[in-house]
């Protein structure tokens, strides 16, 4: 932390990204900085970053982050959330795993994008052992209610 702090004070226009000095304009995940290769990471539950927006998530995410459950929270069509390209990247990434692990996709909103993607890619989902979880449960808190899913590990 001290080294990072000194680096930031002595070089105010620079910061560290993955231990590499970079200027703030190159801090985006899709910048040209080399991403160190390594084995995939296996997790039980992964939240697809940035409300499933294509701005921060692509095929590489699904090739490297292998989850039993992925949460898709996007509900803003004007901003491309959720992104059809990201949902397609899930299929492509999963097809490259080389193992047929069960994957469950948990959408937090019923959107046109997720419905169309589900209908148009249903056969591919079955081939890849991907299940889309729907819920008829509702949580009621104070003056609002919203759909909910129960996940057990």
Q: What pLDDT digit, counting tens, does each position of 91-150 carry?
A: 999 999 988 899 999 888 888 888 899 999 999 999 999 999 876 667 788 888 776 766
The DSSP secondary-structure symbol of 143 reads T
- Picking from 40, 49, 50, the residue whose alpha carbon sits closest to that of residue 101 is 40
pLDDT (tens digit per residue) in 20-66:
444 444 444 555 555 667 899 999 999 988 767 778 888 999 999 99
Is residue 46 one of the residues assigned to a domain?
yes
Q: Is the peptide bond before 82 cis (omega within 30 degrees of 0)?
A: yes
What is d(CA 98, CA 144) in angstroms, rounded to the nearest whole number? 43
Q: Please, are residues 66 and 95 in contact by the beta-carbon 8 Å criterion?
A: no
Is residue 19 one of the residues assigned to a domain?
no
- Distance, first Cα to last Cα, the chain: 35
Is residue 76 one of the residues assigned to a domain?
yes
* 141 DSSP β-pair partners: 144
How many structural domains is the chain composed of? 1
Q: Considering the entire predicted model, what is its pTM?
A: 0.67
- More confident: 60 or 73: 60
Is residue 94 one of the residues assigned to a domain?
yes
pLDDT at 43: 95
Tell me which residue range forms the domain holding 128.
Answer: 41-147
């Amino acid at each position: 932390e001290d080294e990072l702090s000194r680096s930031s004070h002595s070089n105010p226009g620079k910061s560290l990204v993955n231990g590499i000095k970079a200027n703030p304009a190159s801090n985006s995940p899709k910048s040209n900085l080399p991403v160190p290769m390594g084995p995939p990471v296996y997790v039980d539950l992964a939240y697809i970053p940035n409300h499933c927006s294509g701005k921060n998530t692509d095929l590489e995410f699904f090739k490297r982050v292998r989850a039993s459950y992925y949460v898709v929270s996007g509900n803003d069509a004007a901003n491309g959330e959720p992104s059809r390209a990201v949902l397609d990247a899930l299929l492509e990434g999963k097809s490259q795993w080389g193992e047929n692990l069960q994957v469950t996709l948990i959408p937090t909103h019923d959107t046109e994008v997720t419905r169309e993607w589900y209908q148009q890619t249903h056969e591919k989902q079955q081939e890849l052992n991907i299940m889309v979880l729907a819920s008829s449960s509702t949580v009621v808190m104070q003056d609002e209610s919203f759909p909910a899913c129960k996940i057990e590990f």
